[in-house]
Structure 1
């Protein structure tokens, strides 16, 4: 049954080029601004997630996350303000960083095709594990040396991702 559901619906989370996304870019941006976004063009959020697995018999080092101190599989998702997942990539080996997973996927090219409109370049908001780019905006890094204004910015934007 799981395979049936997967093969019948996988296209729904493997591409951002879908009418339910394309027709709502402006609406998503307005929702984010109404919720307190400091960027007027943020339409969703990108994040990696890790799921613990049993220790594999082979290639244990590939699946081990030194940060979490567990063997893991990692996934990357794009979520929109309506709560729907627009894209899901994975699984990836546990030792991969979020930014490395972004580079392994074709998502940058897809964002360039989908998020550029004649009037606005839309973007996603991600944690500081990603790099700031045209289509991904991140908070300030190095929390200890930030000004109060920068800390407030990070706090406000992080609250949107929940």
Structure 2
């Protein structure tokens, strides 16, 4: 019995020694990994090492389309931050897309791009500012070459709408943010019960977002956001031979010739119920537009990392909207599919 107990004690000691050696190996591995992430800088990411499937997963665009996107955005040869930190424009674009595509932290991207966290942050914010500065006007003007209100109105009408001059749909959305240290009340939405920023979108039937305005404080009403956006004068200019074309919104918006909404009240006629239902079935596409932005760029949905006074969180959302429009041009969307079945376009 004593010999067996002694033998068992020796086995336990051997196991502890093995575990201790294993722990040392793990610690050394972690130290090596940490040092690699901090010591290797300016190593360009070679797009050719990724498969097409990996590009779609990591960057939301196919490999050959990343080159097309890079060309369409007219990026300079290098992206240079405020402190001289630089990267090739393709590497900066990959950092942007990888960062937005998933709610990851900067430390999670250190090994992926072989750059430390401050460099990644500077490059990411610099290319965001560049895209917003160069292409932000595409979200604030309705003078767009692709906007065809007559064709869009026909597509909406063919899907069951009782309006024959409705070419788009308007709605607001709230993007939750981390609770700020100051000014909490003004960004708190009592309706949504969260701290947030608000944006207003006009969705076209071809899947593209024609107008995106924001940010507005979360405590504001959609009608206030409409007034601040100065959208109504722009909508008045969208006509068809003198006929006013309109967009359709929910009951929060005022009624105008260029902005229609559902019938209100508890006692509606049968015809009014039919009108409201027919328009509701097509107006849902504006929610699909918001949903696509978040499904492509899930980083925007991670509110703990949307810090109002530390990051340009509104600019992140606007740039993601521009990239989403690019994605729709290449691959289509649920909205374009929904309306193309009626028009075959």
Residue 70 of structure 1, aligned match among 194, 197, 200: 194
How many aligned positions are there?
158
Equivalent residue, structure 2, for 1:110: 234
1:42 CA drift (Å): 0.2
Q: d(CA) in 1 for partners of 2:173 and 2:255?
A: 19
Q: d(CA) in 1 for partners of 2:167 and 2:188?
A: 33
Point out where structure 1 has 5 or more consecutive residues left out of the alignment.
Answer: none
Residue 84 of structure 1, aligned match among 191, 196, 208: 208
Equivalent residue, structure 2, for 1:7: 133
Q: Which runs of 4+ in 1 moved over 6 A?
A: none
1:10 CA drift (Å): 0.9
Residue 158 of structure 1, aligned match among 262, 273, 280: 280
Alignment partner of 1:138 is 2:264: no
Q: Deviations over 1:96-140 (max 9, x none)?
A: 111110011111111112x13424210000011101111100001
Q: TM-score, normalised by structure 1?
A: 0.91
Q: TM-score, normalised by structure 2?
A: 0.44
Equivalent residue, structure 2, for 1:18: 144
Q: d(CA) in 1 for partners of 2:130 and 2:263?
A: 43
Larger helix share, 1 or 2: 2
Q: d(CA) in 1 for partners of 2:159 and 2:130?
A: 37
Q: Is the CA contact 2:150–2:240 (under 8 Å) kept in the aligned structure 1?
A: no
Residue 182 of structure 2, aligned match among 51, 58, 66: 58
Q: d(CA) in 1 for partners of 2:171 and 2:201?
A: 6
SS at match of 2:252: coil
Equivalent residue, structure 2, for 1:147: 269
1:11 CA drift (Å): 1.5
Point out where structure 2 has 5 or more consecutive residues left out of the alignment.
Answer: 1-126, 285-345
Q: d(CA) in 1 for partners of 2:268 and 2:235?
A: 30
* Aligned 1:118-137 pairs, distance under 5 A: 118-137=241-260
Greater gyration radius: 2
RMSD: 1.3
Q: d(CA) in 2 for partners of 1:108 and 1:148?
A: 30
SS at match of 2:213: strand
